[in-house]
Amino acid sequence: MLTHECRCCAHRCRIPEGECGRCGMYRGAGGAAVEVFPDSYLARYPTAIETVPFLHFWPGHTFYAVSSVGCNLSCPGCVSAILTADPGTLTGALVRLPPDNVVSEAEAAGCRGILFCINEPAVSLPTVLRLADAAHDAGLLFGCSTNGYLGDEATCALAPLLDCVNVGLKGASDACYRECGGASAGPAFRTVRALYEAGVHVEVSVVYVRGREDEVVSAAERVAATDAGIPFQIMRFMPFSGGGEERVPAAREAEDLAETVSSILENVYLFNTPGTSRLSTRCPACGRILIRRAFNGPMGARNEWVHPGERCACGARVPVSGRMTAEWRPEARYAGGYRPTRGLELIRGMLAAAGVTDRAAQGRVLAAELASGGLSTLHERIATPRGFCSALRSYAAAGGRRDEGERLASDLLSIVSGIRDKTVGMGRPRIYVALGHPLVPLYADKPEISLISSAGGYPVNRNLGRGDRDARPVTAQEIEALRPEVVFYQEVAPVDTETFVRACLDAGVLTEAVRRGAVYRLPAGTKTGCLGWAASIAAVAGILHPDAGCPAPGEVEEAVLSCVRAVGGEIPYGR
């Protein structure tokens, strides 16, 4: 049988004529491996470069993020699993555009350059190369995020066309790469060195799985062998696609690991950890903060303050490529960085719960949502139980399950009304809700704030007077002025109450609630996926109003599951 060798990545697939390689994005045809979806894009949107993330390349500037679908690896807990694990689901959403059209969109959005990110560029390599050429012809910068599992030919083709690259390592050992479907770690580290030596601005990110500290340290040592100044981003593992919560490191473990790695490399950062100080860039000479950053969703950071000028007060040069800017451009909640993948996963969860379980049908609904720009308003539409159920009805109808969506939404609202009715007339204690760390509040437009209201509490977060699109950090004084009686914290990753209380004491905030022992983890449904908010309302109501006779969270979860089964739906995986 005639086969064609694909040289776009280190797998070097032998693809039979008329068939596809392992990523599904190349087909054997006419004596070569050719793209199945040339010049085709799933997502295109402006985003702050720190959400991709790059921290030392044109800090504060807006770039045009583009993606296709598919990947050449399959990693547990992948944040982009909806794009990569089953690319066939979303191929109908791909939009074919000539490179010049994409460049025109980037220019119209006021972007400094274009970044191919969110999924692996190796699976759309000819498209990436054409787009890079067009970007440079227009005077724009071009870069990408890649897992680095490339062949020599792909690396050589990319090197002269990349201004920046973030290479996402899975660890340092061959075993880590075999877990993701690769053969060894060698290709990724060769990519780092080859692109760095070609003059590309290189940043490296590495996944930190609990118990695999040695993998991160070894990866840092191998990166240091190329240059100890390469920015190194430790990505605290998050089980985005059901990868297992036992693999998530505690915040303290991640901080300790970052401290260890800082003895090996000069610019070490810690992601997915609200409240960390290890997202800020410091002067290599005197240690002053030059760019202060904060947590900004999965794999993302947000600039809060940028040092004016190219040199620190001590005279040392700021260690970045390109100009810095303090400008802050607000982004919709499900836009920017990796956040669109969260929105798509949420919609797919709603569809599955309403009985739209066929992947092709799900793909059509998701394609329509992307085409209409619906992700930009999704957050506002689901901010309350009633709004969520309205969206559920709409998506179910689009998937051909109108009656099932109506029934499920009605049943969910009935469950919530039953809980709310139990707390009527019982007083509304003042509640503060934090995101993993006491100095990181949930803002008033988050669904969890509406959840507190439904459970019979008054969320004082509404009194902060601003949202997370405001770049200003919230101060300890502002939080203390809220005078909360009860504190809940939402986990980004597992945080025990003792650790959260210790953080409160260290920061000198929420002291009255701590003294009274009124600090609780915000409960989340464990069996009901995107519908877990119903059990959360029951749990919070039980804490705030223990004598109200509210149903237990487990009872509510069973009731929700019964409603889902009644319409022929399913829960894809955990919360």
Cα distances from 167 to residues 44, 187, 305, 516, 552, in angstroms, run: 21, 11, 26, 47, 46
Strand partners of residue 142: 114
Strands (E), 149-288: 164-169, 201-208, 232-236, 268-271, 281-282
How are beta strands 113-116 and 141-146 bridged, if at all? parallel
Residues 87 and 230 in one domain: yes
Strands (E), 278-413: 281-282, 289-295, 301-306
Residues 378 and 263 in one domain: no
- Give the end of a domain, one of 260, 287, 306: 306
In a domain, 317, yes or no: no
CA distance 89 to 353: 17
Full residue range of the structural domain in which residue 367 is found: 339-401
Question: For residue 148, what are its two tokens?
Answer: 């680095």
Number of domains in the chain: 4
CA distance 82 to 71: 11
3-state helix/strand/coil string of 286-317: CCCEEEEEEECCCCCEEEEEECCCCECCCCCE
Residues 385 and 446 in one domain: no
Q: Are 412 and 563 in contact (CB under 8 A)?
A: yes
Residues 6 and 125 in one domain: no
Asked if residue 418 has pLDDT above 70, the reply is yes
In a domain, 128, yes or no: yes
How are beta strands 14-16 and 26-29 bridged, if at all? unpaired
Q: Are 304 and 472 in contact (CB under 8 A)?
A: yes
Tell me the whole-structure pTM to 2 decimals: 0.92
Residues 190 and 247 in one domain: yes
Residues 160 and 179 in one domain: yes
Enumerate residues 6+ apart whose C-beta is below 8 A from 322. Answer: 57, 58, 59, 61, 141
Q: Within 13 Å, how many C-alpha atoms sit on residue 371's CB side?
A: 13
Q: Quick one: how far is CA 187 from the chain centroid?
A: 25
Q: For residue range 71-97, list pLDDT tens digits in order.
A: 999 988 787 878 777 777 788 889 999
Looking at residue 339, its pLDDT comes to 83
Q: Residue 67 carries which DSSP code? A: E
Indicate the range of 22-26, 457-461, 509-513 predicted with least confidence.
509-513
Looking at residue 1, its pLDDT comes to 57
Looking at residue 574, its pLDDT comes to 45
In 3D, which of 499, 372, 510 has the Cα closest to residue 439?
510
Residues 45 and 31 in one domain: no
Classify the phi-psi angles of 226: left when phi > 0, otherwise alpha if psi is within -120 to 50, otherwise beta: alpha
Strand partners of residue 519: 487
- Give the other-Cβ count within 10 Å of 313's Cβ: 11
In a domain, 302, yes or no: yes
In a domain, 324, yes or no: no
Residues 210 and 255 in one domain: yes
Asked if residue 575 has pLDDT above 50, the reply is no
Q: For residue range 127-139, list pLDDT tens digits in order.
A: 999 999 999 999 9
Residues 96 and 235 in one domain: yes
Residues 141 and 95 in one domain: yes
